[in-house]
């Protein structure tokens, strides 16, 4: 009998830690690091997700801005930090998909992170000034082919997702273009409005205001499906150029994050995405909610990184 009791106690001792581990719950604040200044797209999304998910967390969720190096400062901090579930960054943009294709970074998006979930999709649009002579993407492409090296495009800087997406487009369409880098998306957008550059491929949230104001026109979208708001505008894929540019946003933790911590974080941030508070934000801000779980988000980032890397070699 004593032997049986001892055996049962030993078995319970082995099982108890796994049960406790399966019920991981944070006991100190969770920090979302944003690699850009307050007010930008990453910051706005982080704070909206913080607000929407907070009711489902027993500890405070803190948003911390650490701007620098096209978002890579925040990503590097998370990569070299502890994989304990208490620190993550807003990833999916240039820091995850394009910058590393142009220069060496202190992390590898393919192996140094464990994404939690993707919250939004932010497709890239090919736009021209309202008074541009190009009425369709086919006209612009034909002009570029007939006059190699004469058409120019803007970007928010070398290595940005805007720059990289345009390079992928140029390679797949066999175009020779002139790159004009600007210090940020705003100046690049103003340049296309003023007719200083021929076209710009930029994220929907960046160009929405000018589209609404009628100062620019969209000729094509770099996503698998047409935009619901512009159903008459073709995708680049429809035109024969398989170009997908997505300034997606989601939460990314360090590689090695335990499964139980991932599950808690994923499930409760997902509750935030499903909440009325988030839906109201998405409607008001026009950010498109396109959820992916951690593995799906990882695949989306790595696929885009690989495509960009192949194009810029």
Residue-wise pLDDT tens digits, 134-179: 999 999 999 999 999 999 999 988 999 999 999 999 999 999 999 9
Would 43 be classed as within a structural domain? yes
- Token pair for residue 147? 């006059």
Mean pLDDT taken over the chain: 92
**Could you tell me if 152 and 216 lie in one domain?**
yes
**Could you tell me if 98 and 141 lie in one domain?**
no
Would 15 be classed as within a structural domain? no
| Cα-based distances in Å from 206 to 104, 162, 285 | 27, 11, 12
Mean pLDDT value of segment 276-293 = 94
Q: How many domains does the chain have?
A: 2
| CA 13/CA 216 separation, integer angstroms | 67
**Predicted TM-score of the model (pTM):** 0.86
| CA 271/CA 256 separation, integer angstroms | 24
DSSP H or E stretch at residue 146: helix 137-146
CATH number at residue 145: 3.40.190.10
**Could you tell me if 150 and 297 lie in one domain?**
no
> What does the chain come to in residues?
313
Q: What contacts 165, CB < 8 A, 6 or more positions away?
A: 98, 124, 201, 222, 243, 245, 308
CATH number at residue 285: 3.40.190.150
- Token pair for residue 181? 């880098």
What pLDDT does residue 22 have? 54
Mean pLDDT value of segment 107-117 = 97
Domain boundary residue among 188, 204, 222?
A: 222
**Could you tell me if 118 and 205 lie in one domain?**
no
What pLDDT does residue 2 have? 53
Q: What contacts 102, CB < 8 A, 6 or more positions away?
A: 158, 159, 164, 312
Of the listed ranges 50-59, 70-79, 260-269, the one predicted with least confidence: 70-79
Q: Can you give the residue range of the structural domain that contains 209?
A: 124-222
Nearest to 310 by CA among 118, 145, 156, 97: 97
Would 1 be classed as within a structural domain? no
Residue 208: phi, psi to the nearest 5?
A: -55, -45
| Cα-based distances in Å from 146 to 167, 168, 230, 239, 241 | 18, 19, 29, 18, 18
**Could you tell me if 145 and 283 lie in one domain?**
no
Q: What is the DSSP letter of 263?
A: H
**Could you tell me if 66 and 201 lie in one domain?**
no
What pLDDT does residue 219 have? 98
Domain boundary residue among 178, 206, 222?
A: 222
**Could you tell me if 265 and 293 lie in one domain?**
yes
Would 237 be classed as within a structural domain? no
| CA 101/CA 62 separation, integer angstroms | 31
């Amino acid at each position: 009998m004593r032997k049986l009791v001892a055996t049962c106690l030993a078995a319970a001792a082995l099982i108890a830690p796994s049960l406790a581990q399966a019920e991981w719950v944070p006991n100190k604040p969770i920090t979302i690091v944003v690699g850009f200044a307050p007010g930008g797209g990453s910051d706005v999304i982080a704070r909206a997700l913080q607000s929407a998910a907070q009711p489902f967390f027993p500890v405070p969720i803190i948003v911390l801005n650490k701007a620098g190096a096209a978002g890579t400062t925040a990503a590097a901090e998370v990569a070299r930090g502890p994989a304990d579930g208490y620190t993550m960054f807003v990833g999916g943009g240039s820091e995850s998909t394009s910058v590393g294709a142009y220069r060496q970074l202190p992390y590898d998006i393919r192996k140094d992170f464990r994404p939690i979930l993707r919250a939004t999709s932010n497709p890239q649009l090919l736009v021209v000034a309202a008074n541009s002579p190009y009425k369709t993407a086919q006209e612009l492409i034909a002009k570029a082919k007939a006059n190699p090296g004469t058409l120019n495009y803007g970007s928010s800087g070398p290595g940005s997702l805007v720059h990289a997406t345009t390079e992928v487009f140029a390679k797949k369409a066999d175009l020779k273009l002139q790159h004009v880098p600007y210090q940020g998306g705003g100046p690049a957008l103003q340049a296309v409005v003023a007719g200083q550059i021929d076209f710009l491929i930029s994220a929907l949230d960046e160009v929405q205001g000018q589209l609404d104001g009628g100062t620019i026109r969209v000729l094509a979208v770099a996503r698998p499906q047409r935009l619901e708001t512009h159903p008459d505008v073709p995708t680049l894929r429809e035109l024969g150029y398989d170009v997908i540019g997505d300034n997606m946003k989601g939460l990314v933790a360090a590689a090695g994050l335990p499964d139980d911590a991932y599950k808690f974080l994923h499930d409760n941030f997902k509750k935030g995405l499903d909440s009325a508070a988030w839906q109201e934000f998405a409607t008001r801000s026009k950010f498109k909610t396109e959820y992916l779980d951690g593995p799906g988000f990882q695949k989306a980032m790595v696929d885009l990184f690989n495509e960009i890397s192949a194009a810029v070699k």
